[in-house]
A = this chain, B = another copy of it.
Amino acid sequence: MDVYFPEKRRSYEQGFAGQKNLRIVSNIGPILALGALLSLTVPLGALTSTGQTAGHVQISDVLFALVLLLLAAKLGGELLERWRQPPVLGELIFGMLLGNLTLFGYSGLEAIKSHPGIAFAGEVGVILLLFEVGLESNLHELLDVGKSAALVATLGVVAPMLLGYGVSSLFLEESAWYVHLFVGATLTATSVGITARVLKDIGKMDTREARIILGAAVLDDVLGLIILAVVTALTASIASYGAAEISAIPILTIILKSVGFLAIAVILGRSLAGKVLALGSRFRVRGMPVVLTLCYCFVVAGLAELVGLAPIIGAFAAGLVLDETHYRGYRCMNSIKIGEILSPISSVLVPVFFVLIGLRVDLSSLFSFPTLKFSLFLCIAAVIGKQVCSLGVLEKGLNRFVVGAGMIPRGEVGLIFAGIGASTIVGGQAVFGPDIFSAVILMVMVTTLAAPPLLSTLFRINNPAQE
């Protein structure tokens, strides 16, 4: 089951991160110092989009903006890591802080939010993230995972979808049905990475509950991506034709297209990727594994977009296909896992994506009581929705609450859905306006923060003898 654990993403700091993982905040000095550094770079970031000097296009603005986002990501990630929380939340929170400096009268960073170069870096970041998630999901183990996991995953998608749709239509009376659909879709997400991390931290990775949770969470990724495809395609058809025919046929078409694309990408990919990589291993120029891996990921992601799906679906399919055996021909790869080849690139671009999501959260909209109330009910729907899925556990004698709790964190997957909701435009308006976006992000944060303590408490209550 080790494949699910995103340890390989953390290859560089593996050694000391693992060792110090369980200490509580021991030394705040470096954080304060990097914080000071960050505050120094804020005015530099403000230079973004100041234009050109005579004759030559300026790129210092983009460079400074990238530095600012990267430092914010690492500082936020570090703080949350020290509080034994998922670092992605720190990236989000620091993005929110930077993005809401306007509340304190500082609007120098507004240009970063819509800078095309930065946005592209973030887009590639999320593509690489889904590629890595795909890499970590072993296809065979995925297919072999018990009926329980499949049932848990299905229930864990259907229940939150319905509840989310319900809460949304209750609170957002004047919004269109596709907004409710998008809210529901965001609620279906489950973050494999965060759950796996928590299970490993509390030493419960080899329990049957953990196996079911992780199997279901990986299946959830696939189901979630299909739902995303359906929802975005429906919204796109509204954007194009003014209204979508809500009949079963177009929805079925999209589902078939998604499943078909995933199937073709996986089947064709398995033989093709192997051949291309074997070919590359006979090359002598440097960087072939990195370049070919990246090209493969980009081509499948791009093809997914061409057939009308989200690029991340293609990236996931690309990652699902590759495994160590494809790299046998590369001597340099003997001691390196695939995830590590792209690790330097993804460790730079993935945080950019999450800080950008944070940047776009309008904190002032959270100060309104209706938004907070909406978000609270979303949280309740999110928790109940995933508790329902524990009914899918067929085995007897297992702790169903643990399974339900393990499915709660929305994590990065929820953020990706929310981000797509905010960047999808229908009739000149984003599907997720600032209020809905903020409420959804708050829900993602609450569920992600709540899961780790909840999970370890529930495990402890169930098996006090093991403690």
Interface of A with B (CB < 8 Å)?
A: 9-17, 20-21, 27, 29-30, 33-34, 37, 41, 44, 47, 53-64, 66-67, 70-71, 73-74, 77-78, 81-82, 87, 116-117, 119-120, 123-124, 127, 232, 235-237, 239-240, 276, 279-280, 282-292, 294-295, 298-299, 301-303, 305-306, 308, 311, 330-332, 341-345, 347-348, 351, 420, 423-426
Contacts and interface: CB of A to CB of B under 8 A. Distances in A.
A74 B291 contact: yes
A13 B345 contact: no
A283 B119 CA distance: 27
Contacts of A343: 286-287, 344
Copies in the complex: 2
A56 to B, nearest CB: 6
Contacts of A33: 279
Contact of A78 (B67, B232, B237, B283): B283
A282 B60 CA distance: 29
Contacts of A74: 280, 283, 285, 287-288, 291-292
Nearest to A123: B59
A13 B344 contact: no
17 contacts: A11-B286, A12-B286, A12-B287, A12-B330, A30-B279, A30-B282, A30-B283, A55-B235, A59-B302, A62-B120, A63-B127, A63-B299, A74-B287, A78-B285, A286-B347, A287-B347, A342-B344
A295 B87 CA distance: 19
A31 to B, nearest CB: 8
Q: Kindly list the 7 A-B residue pairs having the minimum CB-CB distance in the complex, ordered from nearest.
A: A287-B347, A60-B302, A60-B305, A54-B239, A63-B298, A77-B285, A10-B286
Contacts of A347: 286-287, 290-291
A298 B10 contact: no
A335 to B, nearest CB: 9
Contacts of A239: 54-55
Nearest to A295: B67
B54 A240 contact: yes
Contacts of A331: 15-16
Given A116-B116, A290-B348, A347-B290, A82 B284 contact: yes
Residue of A10, A13, A240 with highest tally of chain B CB at under 10 A: A13
Contact of A53 (B41, B44, B81, B308): B308
B87 A285 contact: yes
Contacts of A308: 53
Contact of A332 (B14, B54, B77): B14
